[in-house]
Chains A and B, each alone.
Chain A
């Protein structure tokens, strides 16, 4: 048995939540004339690992940012674990309610640029929110953080600050920091796009581990097609604000139904 089994187990849900973990219904989002989401209907089952692929600027990241409440939908209903995150009726403006804030806690996010707190040590980064949001004691938060840092292979860097680490190491700390909040849903927004090629593998290994051994729902926006194919239960091809097609990875990558998907895959994978 691997020494990490215990900490991985704590990431699992004590009781299986509702069948549908994430739901978008009729969600619009536009900046001026730029419609990044057009009446999006999209569901993710509890525990499902979904990769979102598609050209840049197609609205993939916006889906994650709305789930993390970093953006508001113009119109539409978004729920997480059956609880309303956003409910914006036509002609109204999105309002952040107590419900929004409570529901958001089920969601964790890993950013393209890591966004670690550079003036705090690795350990302080990971224990900050568990102490000040979940109300854990410093001792409990530290225990949890040390286990998670061990899981991502950075226990020995606990006392360092982010600027002293490589990009790959920083991203692994960022994953540990998000996991420390025990989210039910993990969002990965192009987690390896800002990394040097030789550092991508170490980050993907951690994500793969989470995908194969936990029952967290995972949503991954990525340009790493081979990785998406490997770890996903379902791949969603997204373009111009709508889902072009969705299905099991083998189907999407080997026999896509739509021309747009085929062209996109040829463009990112010319060989």
Chain B
């Protein structure tokens, strides 16, 4: 008996590639959200504003302390009960972005802490306004050494986006599950899906390792 059905594999390729393309789009939009929200969270926590910074501390603990799958279920199946229902795709993108923003905030923090005190003091001695100090002096220097770590998070997010299949999004994993369920044939769609994930994540991780060598011993 033939285990692998080549014709079947070829016939499902268009659907899988469509899902693959959606996975890539989800990853980039979610990652942009987590980079922006994470930076905001990191700065607010760093400023130690009474109450507000504590709330953001809680935000990070909460998001990091609960599984992405649970967060996705709550956002998609529970929030609508409270009148906050959105389509699956935007919900999934936001959940993934929020989830990773907590991790990004921690990475930003380590980057910010690496900026020498002298940089803050020079900014102050020149009377640079706080916003200018943050975005022209501190953040550009904080980001450089953390680019490789952020790159690894991007790859992890790319793979974690598969969890969004559980809230009916037909990205690569969702599409594979649907094909598998319809034909009772899981081998081909799952194998191809795995290879497609690998085709992106493996070269990317090599690229990040090279970046690491170039960026980290800065200045």
A positions within 8 Å CB-CB of B: 68-70, 101, 104-105, 107-109, 111, 113-119, 128-129, 132-133, 163, 177-178, 181
Cβ of A177 and Cβ of B124 under 8 Å apart? no
Which of the candidate stretches B99-107, B133-141, B157-165, B183-191 sits at the interface with the other chain? B133-141
Question: Which B residues are within 8 Å of any A CB, using their own CB?
Answer: 116, 118-119, 121-122, 124-129, 132, 136-137, 140-141, 144, 218-219
Q: A119 near B127 (CB under 8 angstroms)?
A: no
Report 7 cross-chain contacts, Cβ distance below 8 Å, ordered by A residue. Answer: A68-B125, A107-B125, A117-B137, A128-B126, A132-B128, A132-B132, A181-B127
> In whole Å, how far is A96's beta carbon from the nearest beta carbon of chain B?
10
In the complex, given contacts A111-B122, A177-B126, what are 4 additional A-B residue pairs having Cβ atoms less than 8 angstroms apart? Answer: A68-B121, A70-B125, A111-B125, A119-B219
Interface-centre pick from B121, B127, B136, B219 (highest chain A CB count, 10 A) = B127
**A115 CA to B133 CA, complexed, in Å:** 14
A213 to chain B, nearest CB (A): 23
Q: Which residue of B lies closest to A117 (CB)?
A: B137
CA–CA, A117 and B122, complex, Å: 8
Whether B219 and A163, one on each chain, are in contact in the complex, defined by CB atoms closer than 8 angstroms, is yes
4 tightest A-B CB contacts, nearest first: A129-B126, A115-B118, A115-B122, A109-B125
B128 touches which of A108, A113, A115, A128 (Cβ 8 Å):
A128
Main SS class of interface, B: helix
Chain B residue nearest in CB terms to A124: B136
Alpha-carbon distance A69/B128, docked complex (angstroms): 13
* Interchain nearest-CB distance for B126 vs A (Å): 4
B126 and A113 within 8 A (CB): no
With a cutoff of 8 Å between Cβ atoms, the chain B residues found around residue A108 in the complex are 125
B122 touches A116 (CB 8 A): yes
What residues of B have a CB within 8 angstroms of the CB of A132 in the complex?
A: 128-129, 132, 136
User: In the complex, which of the residues B124, B129, B132 contacts A68, with contact meaning CB atoms closer than 8 Å?
Assistant: B124
For A181, list chain B residues within 8 Å (CB): 126-127
What are the residues of chain B within 8 A of A111 when measuring CB–CB?
118, 121-122, 125
By the criterion CB–CB under 8 Å, are B128 and A178 in contact? Answer: no
Q: Which residue of A lies closest to B118 (CB)?
A: A115
- Beyond A70-B121, A111-B118, is A119–B141 a contact (Cβ under 8 Å)? yes
**Which residues of the other chain, B, contact A113 by a CB distance below 8 angstroms?**
118
Which residues from A are CB-within-8-Å of B218? 118
Nearest-CB residue, chain B, relative to A134: B127
Interface centre among B119, B125, B144 (most CB of A within 10 A): B125
Q: Name the A residues within 8 Å of B219 (CB-CB).
A: 118-119, 163
Query: A117 touching B129 by the CB < 8 A rule?
Result: no
A107–B125 alpha-carbon span in the complex (Å): 8
Chain B residues positioned under 8 Å from A70 (CB to CB): 121, 124-125
Q: Are B141 and A129 in contact (CB-based, < 8 A)?
A: no
Residues of A within 8 A of B140 (CB): 119
Give the docked Cα–Cα distance between A104 and B141 (Å): 26
Bound complex: CA A114 to CA B119 (Å): 10
Give the distance in Å from the alpha carbon of A128 to the alpha carbon of B125 in the complex. 12
- Return chain B residues, CB-CB under 8 Å to A163: 219
Tell me which residues across on chain B come within 8 A of A129, comparing CB atoms: 126-128
For A118, the chain B residues whose CB sits under 8 A away are 141, 218-219
Q: How far is the CA of A108 from the CA of B127 in the complex (A)?
A: 10
- Which of A107, A129, A177, A181 has the most B CB atoms < 10 Å from its CB? A129
